[in-house]
C-alpha cells in the first residue's frame, strides 16, 4: 500500500474519484486492515500564544529533517500537515506518530515557535487568515470566497486499507451511523479565536458550511458514487476530487477509505485510540457485508442532527442515536459502540490499548473538556494554549 499523501494535487477529473489506474486495493496479512493517519497542527508563538503564519518555513525545515514528502502545507499558513506510513501493528503506528510530532515540534522550535494539536485556534488575529501559496488554494479562494475565512481548522484523517473500491463504499455506508460517536470522542475545538463557542467541536460546525461536507450519502453502487461526483464537479461544488469534504470518503490517491470526521486531538495516544476504533469499525462492517447484512439507512436529517448534537455536547452530554433517534448519555453510547467492535479490536491486538486510553478519557474528559479545565484554573486562554503545547509534543517525547 502506498504512503498516505495529502491529496492537494490540484488535478481535476470529469467523472468520479476512483480512477481505474489507482493502486490496487489491499489489506494487510491474515486479513488484518492497514491504518495510516494524517495529523494537522497549528503553529503558535510561545509568547503571544497566537497562531503564526510560518507554515511554509516549518514544512521546508521538517522535510529536510527526515519527514520528506510526509509533511506539507495546508490551506492556511498557520497550519502544517504530517502523515504516517500505513501500518498493521498499532505499536508501530504509535512510534511513527510520536517521532513525527517530535520532528515537527523540534523544527518549529528552531523558528522560536511551538505546535499545538487542536481542532481550532484558541487565540489569533481576526479572519481572514493568510492562505498558503499555490494554484489550488488560489482557486479555492476564488470559488468558495468567505468560506475560506474560517478554515483555520485542524482535523485528524484516518486511512483504512480496503479490499476493493466497491467494498470501500459499502463500508462507508455502514460507518455513517458511527459518525456521532467519533465526533464526541474526538471533540477538541471549544475555543475559536478568543471566545468559547459553547461547542465541544466547533470545527465540525465550520466544516458543515461547505457544499460537499458532513455525513456522506448512502451509495447504492460505485456507479452511483461516480455519477454523483461527476455532477458535483460539473456544478462547481468541488474544484477537484480532493475537495470531497465528506466525513468519510474513498481516497482518490491511495487505496484506502478515509475517515476525516475527527478534530485534531491533543495527544498522540488519542490519535492511536481513534485509529484503532475506526479500524475495528471498518473490520466489523466488512464482516457484516460478507454476511449480507444491509447498512442502516437513517433519515439524513436525523443523522445530521445527531452529528450536531455530538459536536455541541461532546462527552459531557447526550448522544442522539441516528438509527433509533434515542438520546443516550455520550459515554454510554461510546461503550455500546466499543462493545460492538470488540471482536475486531481483539483480532487486531488493540483491545487493551483502546480500553486503557478510553478509561483515561472517561475520567479526565476529551480534548475539549481538558481545554476548558485549563481555562478555568485562572480564566486564562494563554493557559489553554500552554496546555496544548505541553501535551501535543511532551518534553519526554511520549505519546502523552
Pairing of the two strands 35-44 and 79-83: antiparallel
What is the predicted pLDDT for the residue at 28? 52
Q: Cell 492537494 identifies what position?
A: 8
Name which of 301, 304, 307 is nearest 262 in CA terms.
Answer: 307
Longest dimension (CA), the chain: 57
Residue 289 vs residues 51, 205, 260: alpha-carbon distances, Å? 45, 31, 22
53-60 own/partner pairs: CB under 8 Å, 24+ apart: 53/77, 53/78, 53/129, 53/130, 54/108, 54/111, 54/113, 55/79, 55/80, 55/132, 56/132, 56/133, 57/111, 58/104, 58/107, 58/108, 58/111, 58/113
Considering the domain 29-392, what is its CATH architecture? 2-Layer Sandwich (3.30)
pLDDT tens across the length of the chain (400 residues)? 233 333 333 322 222 222 233 333 345 556 899 999 999 999 999 999 999 999 999 999 999 999 999 999 998 999 999 999 999 999 999 999 999 999 999 999 999 999 999 999 999 987 788 888 888 888 888 888 888 888 899 999 999 999 999 999 999 999 999 999 999 999 999 999 999 999 999 999 999 999 999 999 999 999 999 999 999 999 999 998 888 999 999 988 788 999 999 999 999 999 999 999 999 999 999 999 999 999 999 999 999 999 999 999 999 999 999 999 999 999 999 999 999 999 999 999 999 999 999 999 999 999 999 999 999 999 999 999 999 999 999 998 899 9
Helices 179-186 and 330-340: crossing angle in degrees, nearest 10, is 120
Task: Please list the residues that pair with 248 across neighbouring strands.
Answer: 259
Q: What is the pLDDT of residue 251?
A: 87
Q: What is the structure's pLDDT at 21?
A: 33
For the chain, the straight-line distance linking the first and the last C-alpha, in angstroms and rounded, comes to: 29
Give the whole-angstrom CA distance, residue 281 versus residue 345.
Answer: 9
Task: Report the candidate in 218, 330, 341, 335 with the shortest Cα–Cα distance to residue 279.
Answer: 341
Residue 349 near residue 169, CB atoms below 8 Å: no
Amino acid at each position: 500500500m502506498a504512503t498516505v499523501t495529502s491529496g492537494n494535487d490540484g488535478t481535476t477529473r470529469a467523472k468520479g474519484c476512483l480512477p481505474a489506474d489507482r493502486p490496487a486495493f489491499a489489506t494487510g496479512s491474515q486479513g488484518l486492515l492497514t491504518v495510516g493517519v494524517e495529523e494537522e497542527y497549528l503553529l503558535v508563538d510561545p509568547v503571544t500564544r497566537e497562531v503564526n503564519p510560518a507554515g511554509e518555513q516549518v514544512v521546508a525545515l521538517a522535510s529536510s529533517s527526515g519527514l520528506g514528502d510526509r509533511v506539507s502545507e495546508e490551506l492556511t499558513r498557520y497550519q502544517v500537515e504530517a502523515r504516517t506510513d500505513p501500518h498493521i501493528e498499532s505499536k508501530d503506528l504509535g512510534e511513527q506518530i510520536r517521532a513525527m510530532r517530535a520532528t515537527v515540534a523540534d523544527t518549529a522550535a528552531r523558528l522560536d515557535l511551538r505546535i499545538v494539536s487542536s481542532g481550532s485556534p484558541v487565540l489569533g488575529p481576526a479572519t481572514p487568515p493568510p492562505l498558503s501559496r499555490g494554484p489550488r488554494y488560489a482557486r479555492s479562494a476564488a470559488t468558495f470566497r468567505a468560506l475560506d475565512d474560517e478554515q483555520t481548522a485542524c482535523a485528524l484523517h484516518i486511512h483504512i486499507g480496503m479490499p476493493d473500491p466497491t467494498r470501500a463504499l459499502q463500508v462507508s455506508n455502514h460507518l455513517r451511523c458511527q459518525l456521532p460517536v467519533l465526533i464526541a470522542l474526538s471533540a477538541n475545538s471549544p475555543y475559536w479565536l478568543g471566545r468559547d463557542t459553547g461547542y465541544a467541536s466547533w470545527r465540525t460546525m465550520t466544516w458543515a458550511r461547505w457544499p460537499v461536507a458532513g455525513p456522506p450519502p448512502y451509495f447504492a453502487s460505485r456507479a452511483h458514487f461516480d455519477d454523483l461526483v461527476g455532477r458535483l464537479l460539473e456544478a462547481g461544488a468541488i474544484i477537484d476530487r480532493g475537495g470531497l469534504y465528506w466525513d468519510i470518503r474513498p481516497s482518490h490517491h491511495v487505496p484506502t477509505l478515509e475517515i476525516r470526521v475527527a478534530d485534531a486531538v491533543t495527544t498522540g495516544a488519542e490519535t492511536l485510540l481513534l485509529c484503532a476504533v475506526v479500524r475495528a469499525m471498518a473490520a466489523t462492517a466488512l464482516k457484516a457485508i460478507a454476511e449480507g447484512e444491509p447498512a442502516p439507512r437513517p433519515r439524513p436529517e436525523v443523522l445530521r442532527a445527531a452529528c450536531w448534537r455530538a459536536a455541541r455536547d461532546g462527552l459531557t452530554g447526550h448522544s442522539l442515536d441516528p438509527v433509533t433517534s434515542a438520546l443516550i448519555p455520550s459515554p454510554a453510547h461510546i461503550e455500546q459502540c466499543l462493545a460492538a467492535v470488540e471482536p475486531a479490536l481483539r483480532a487486531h491486538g488493540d483491545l487493551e490499548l483502546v480500553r486503557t486510553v478510553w478509561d483515561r478519557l472517561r475520567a479526565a474528559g476529551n480534548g475539549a473538556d481538558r481545554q476548558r479545565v485549563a481555562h478555568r484554573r485562572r480564566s486564562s486562554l494563554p493557559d489553554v494554549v500552554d496546555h496544548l503545547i505541553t501535551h501535543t509534543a511532551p518534553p519526554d517525547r511520549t505519546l502523552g
